Structure 1
């Protein structure tokens, strides 16, 4: 029951996202983005090839919207998606994908420092050298997204907490830029991120007794 209910919800979200798209590019980006996050929450390896298509569509969408940090972000996403595809398929221990692990204490210290410093530098560059619309918020979401994508590619549980923060900020930013279908997409991402967190955490705790 629970399984088919989730599939019906996904289908309805796709219909709404597609009906609010303003171009074919945005439509394909919306559809592949939704599928990618949904498959990621299910720990399905097909999230990576579909995600690569999504990255290409969003690169040109953000270019047209003058969200240059987000545009550059898609290049990094492409690289991290290839990395994630490889990592998920290695050290699987007879599972479909690599088992989930937790963030280390060292990373809890390093990642916030990287976030603050890189956001300030990137935001300043965007302000001084481009006509970026909302440079510092754009840079903050972009840097946080790189961190989240790195954690996701590395199969680290805490990636979902970071994605939840990103989704909340992104909904507001894209509404401000009148990118309504993308704003709605990130609202759906938020729901899926919460679901993904619960699923990954459940699977992680289930696998604990089998780890050395």
Structure 2
């Protein structure tokens, strides 16, 4: 079993294996902190996304690399967004998407897929089945990260769908550690959604009691 899961690492540079493990650990830590609605989700995420952006570029997985560059930028934005206060209260607490944000999410999803398709055609990367899945995943994860930075509960739905697809995808690509990371991501994302929903319901009750 061990040979089946990890034999693909036999010819990898040791530094890449070490970096993938570190990136996976920080990625898992970041998702756990997101579940807890803890602002440290962003600095830990910055470490993970920086490592993965580099590794995925080395592995010529352009769509995946672009996702992580985007994550890096959105983590900086989200870090700033979550720190904003109104008095002693968060200016942007956990909330649901409004109609304007739904339209933006649709445009972001569609625009991202079109952009990735153009990039893949330009670099002639549509050479196997998972290149096509990459384009769809990039759209999902772009929207998921934007919604998390905006502190919208729907971000977890996009993460869960994308994580479930990524488990077999990364295993097929030969990156077992990353595949296992996405398996854990899926579990944590489900609990993250439930925990955010509980926080949102409690805040709604508190607001109603004021009146």
Q: What TM-score range do you get, normalising by the shorter chain?
A: 0.7 to 0.9
- Compute the displacement of 1:112 (Å): 3.0
State whether residues 167 and 187 of structure 1, in contact with CA within 8 Å, keep that contact through their aligned partners in structure 2: yes
Contact 2:108 2:142 (C-alpha < 8 Å) held by counterparts:
no
Post-superposition offset of 1:99:
1.6
Correspondent of 1:206 among 199, 202, 205 = 202
Indicate yes or no: 2:16 matched with 1:40: no
**CA offset at residue 196 of structure 1?**
0.2
Structure 2: state its 5+ residue gaps. Answer: 1-8
Q: CA RMSD in A?
A: 2.3
The residue that corresponds to 1:5 in the other structure is none
Q: Is the 8 A contact 1:80 1:153 kept in 2?
A: yes
In structure 2, the CA distance between the partners of 1:97 and 1:186, relative to structure 1 (3 Å rule), is: farther
Q: Give, in angstroms, the shift of residue 74 of structure 1.
A: 1.6
| Alignment equivalent of 1:53, drawn from 31, 47, 52 | 47
Q: How does 1:52-201 map to 2 (within 5 A)?
A: 52-91=46-85, 94=88, 98-131=92-125, 134-201=130-197
> Structure 1 152/92 Cα, relative in aligned 2: closer, same or farther at 3 Å?
farther
CA distance in structure 1 between the partners assigned to 2:104 and 2:43 by the alignment: 30
Give the stretch that moved more between structures: 84-93 or 149-158.
Answer: 84-93
Once the two structures are TM-superposed, the CA of residue 117 in structure 1 deviates from its matched residue by: 4.5
Distance 1:96 1:117 in 2: 31
The runs of 5 or more residues in structure 1 that have no matched partner are 1-19
Give SS of 2:85's match: coil
Q: Distance in 2 between matches of 1:24 and 1:78?
A: 20
C-alpha distance in 1 between matches for 2:80 and 2:49: 17
2:147, 2:155 within 8 Å by CA — same for their partners in 1?
Answer: yes
Contact 2:20 2:55 in 1 (8 A): yes
8 Å contact from structure 1 (residues 119, 136) kept in 2 = no
**TM-score, normalised by the number of residues in structure 2:** 0.82
How many angstroms does 1:123 deviate by? 1.9
TM-score, with length taken from structure 1: 0.82
Q: What is the CA–CA distance in structure 1 between the aligned matches of 2:33 and 2:89, rounded to whole Å?
A: 16
Q: Is the 8 A contact 2:31 2:41 kept in 1?
A: yes
Greater C-alpha radius of gyration: 2
TM-fit CA distance, 1:63: 1.4
Counterpart-to-counterpart distance in 2, 1:72 and 1:151:
18
